[in-house]
Structure formats: C-alpha cells, structure tokens
C-alpha cells in the first residue's frame, strides 16, 4: 500500500469515526443484557493468588444485530473471592480495543464486574442491587464518585459442564477514567491522614458512610478508598468504593471490626474526625436538600424487592431523624468523633 493510499484510508476512517460514536457504557441507566461464554467451571474455581485470565466471548443485542467480542476474564476480590463465601466471585473483564472499539465497551481496557456471589439464593442478588444503589446514591452528592451500570448476564459454559445461568451484575467505572472525567489525576499515596484530604469532602464522605451504616473503610490504608487530586501538589480527594459490608447491603458474612465500639453492622458509627456544629450543619443541609433524590432512587428501582426498599428507607429515616436532633448530632458526630492526637 502506498503512502497516498494509507493517508486516504486514514481520512476515511476519521470520517467514519466522526459519524458514529458508540455510546458510553455509563451514560445510561437502562438494563444492558449480555451473554458471556467461557470455561465457566475453570474460571470460577481459579481464585488462588496466581489466578489467570480465561478467554471468553461477550455478546449483546444491538437493534437487529448481535455485537460480539473476545474478552479475557479473571476472578478478583479479597473476601468475596473466598469460595466458602461466594460460589461465584467478582470478575475483571479485559477488552481488546480492536474488538470493542465500536461497542458500548469502547475506551475501556479493564472493568470490574460485581457478581451475584451465590447461584441459588436470591437474597444475594438483592444484596448486589443494594450495593449498586449505594454507588448511585453517592453520585447524587458528588461527581467525584464511581459510576456503575447494571447488567443482566447469561453465563454459558463453553465446556458444557455447567448449566446456563442468568443473573444481575454491575460494572464499575475504571479508576483512571473516573479521575479524568472529574479533571483529576490518580494518586496512590499511603498513610495519608483524613485531614490531609479535602476537609469538606472527606466529612461528607464520612457522613454518607454513616448514613448507609458502613465502617469498612480507611484513608491511610487505602481500604476501600481511592485518591484523586487536581495536581500532584493539590490536596487529595477521597473516593469510596466496595460497600458490601454496609448495613444496607446486609451481607451475612459482614461483621464489624473488633476494634470498633459496635456489635453489629447495623449500628451506625461516625468514623470521621471532629468538626464544629457549623461545619456539620453545612453538610447536613445538602443531605436534607437531596433527600428526595435518594428516596426516589430506591423507590423507583425495579430490581429491588419491596421489602428491601422498605428496609433501606426505614434506615434512612433514622439517619435523617438523627441529623435533625441537636442532642443526637452532638452525641454521634461530635462527642463520639475521632480526634487528632498530636505527638508530644
């Protein structure tokens, strides 16, 4: 091929690209139905420290056509990768750019997939929906959050050892893409004290975690926390993820850290640092202002059973009663708050 024809081909490709822009996976809240075909038995059992990627095929219907692509799948996670906890672990799906370029998965190299954990117990699928809704709820309070997309997946075993299985799951936005969407860079600083991050934002994060009943996070250890910032020298912003130990999810395997002064995951504990009444009130105002959006998110979720909606909304009612009571605010958010201990 001559240089001239190469340039012509490039120009044609640019015109094609300018005419067709595949939708972004996370721009829509509609349920995406896909199928994944792989050596399913081999994949779900490969949960050791040296686990590997398994080749598979991901497909979905687009209009009158079927979009299909080769992908690589790998089990992931810590607690949920334990087969005594989850028969079906969370996955990482790695995409080939040339295969996914004009699909809804374009511009994604790797994506985390949160799966249903147990095949035969519908309770675990409801737990998955509750965790999905927590991600959606946090995005109501800040765009510096991970976007998620619910999918219904039909898993097919290429070796015909396992029966076909259809379950809900959800994709989580890539860390670097989340940072870039917010005009930020990714940071990997460790042993960072909460007060070295943006004070207003970390306080809002801590109050949100209190609202959903989650104590399973920590900034210094980057435990279920990612860090972003405007520049390498800018103050850090903490972004939470992985909420399966929260009261709202209500996982049977979740227990509070023995070092914390609570007996159950349903006991709320504010893990932020001490702020003034005025500082707290400025953030409580936002929670009150956005209360309807949070409640509507749960009320209108067709994936969530009515009993689960009621449980979540009752738990939120308790939170809003607390922040509207000055005595409880002092007790929960000031007297019981963490205090910075300065070295002598």
pLDDT tens per residue across span 291-329: 999 999 999 999 999 999 999 999 999 999 999 999 999
Q: Which of 103-107, 130-134, 167-171, 175-179 has the lowest mean pLDDT?
A: 103-107
CA distance readout (Å), 294 to 91, 139, 258: 28, 10, 31
As a whole number of angstroms, the distance between CA 60 and CA 65 comes to 9
Q: Are 225 and 208 in contact (CB under 8 A)?
A: no
pLDDT of residue 4: 57
pLDDT value at 167 more than 90: yes
As a whole number of angstroms, the distance between CA 266 and CA 279 comes to 26
Instruction: Taking residues 58-65, report their average pLDDT.
Output: 90
pLDDT band for position 258 (cuts 50, 70, 90) = confident
DSSP state letter for 83? T
As a whole number of angstroms, the distance between CA 153 and CA 322 comes to 40
pLDDT of residue 22: 72
pLDDT value at 342 more than 60: no
pLDDT of residue 152: 97
Residue 295 burial by CB count (10 A; 0-12/13-18/19+): exposed, middle or buried?
middle
Q: Are 138 and 102 in contact (CB under 8 A)?
A: no
Q: Are 58 and 93 in contact (CB under 8 A)?
A: yes
Mean pLDDT of the chain: 92
- Which segment, 15-29, 88-102, 111-125, 137-151, is predicted with the most confidence on average? 137-151
Say whether pTM exceeds 0.75. yes
pLDDT band for position 344 (cuts 50, 70, 90) = very low
Residue 191 burial by CB count (10 A; 0-12/13-18/19+): exposed, middle or buried?
exposed
Instruction: Taking residues 263-277, report their average pLDDT.
Output: 96
As a whole number of angstroms, the distance between CA 173 and CA 169 comes to 13
Tally Cβ neighbours within 10 Å of residue 284: 19
As a whole number of angstroms, the distance between CA 222 and CA 307 comes to 34
Q: Look at residues 117, 118, 145 and name the one whose alpha carbon lies nearest to residue 133.
A: 145
pLDDT of residue 192: 94
């Amino acid at each position: 091929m001559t240089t001239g024809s190469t340039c012509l081909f490039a120009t044609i490709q640019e015109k094609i690209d300018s005419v067709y822009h595949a939708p972004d996976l996370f721009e829509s809240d509609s349920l995406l139905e896909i199928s994944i075909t792989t050596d399913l038995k081999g994949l779900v059992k490969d949960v050791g420290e040296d686990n590997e990627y398994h080749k598979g095929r991901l497909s979905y219907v687009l209009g009158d056509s079927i979009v299909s692509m080769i992908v690589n799948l790998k089990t992931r996670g810590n607690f949920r990768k334990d087969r005594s906890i989850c028969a079906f672990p969370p996955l990482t799906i790695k995409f080939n750019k040339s295969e996914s370029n004009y699909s809804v998965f374009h511009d994604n190299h790797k994506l985390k997939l949160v799966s249903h954990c147990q095949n035969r117990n519908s309770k675990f699928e409801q737990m998955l929906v509750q965790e999905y809704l927590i991600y959606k709820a946090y995005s109501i309070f800040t765009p510096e959050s991970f976007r998620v997309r619910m999918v219904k997946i039909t898993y097919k075993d290429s070796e015909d050892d396992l029966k076909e299985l259809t379950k809900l799951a959800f994709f989580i936005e890539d860390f670097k893409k989340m940072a870039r969407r917010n005009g930020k860079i990714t940071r990997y600083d460790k042993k960072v004290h909460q007060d070295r991050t943006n004070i207003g934002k970390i306080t809002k994060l801590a109050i949100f975690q209190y609202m959903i009943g989650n104590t399973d996070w920590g900034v210094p250890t980057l435990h279920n926390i990612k860090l972003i910032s405007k520049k390498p020298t800018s103050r850090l912003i903490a972004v939470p993820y992985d909420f399966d130990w929260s009261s709202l999810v209500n996982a049977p395997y979740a227990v509070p850290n023995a070092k914390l002064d609570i007996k159950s995951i349903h006991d709320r504990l504010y893990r932020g640092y001490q702020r003034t009444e005025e500082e707290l009130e400025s953030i409580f105002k936002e929670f009150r202002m956005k209360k309807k959006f949070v409640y509507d998110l749960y009320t209108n979720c067709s994936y969530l059973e009515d009993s689960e909606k009621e449980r979540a909304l009752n738990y939120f009612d308790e939170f809003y009663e607390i922040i509207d009571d000055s005595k409880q605010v002092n007790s929960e958010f000031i007297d019981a708050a963490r205090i910075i201990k300065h070295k002598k």
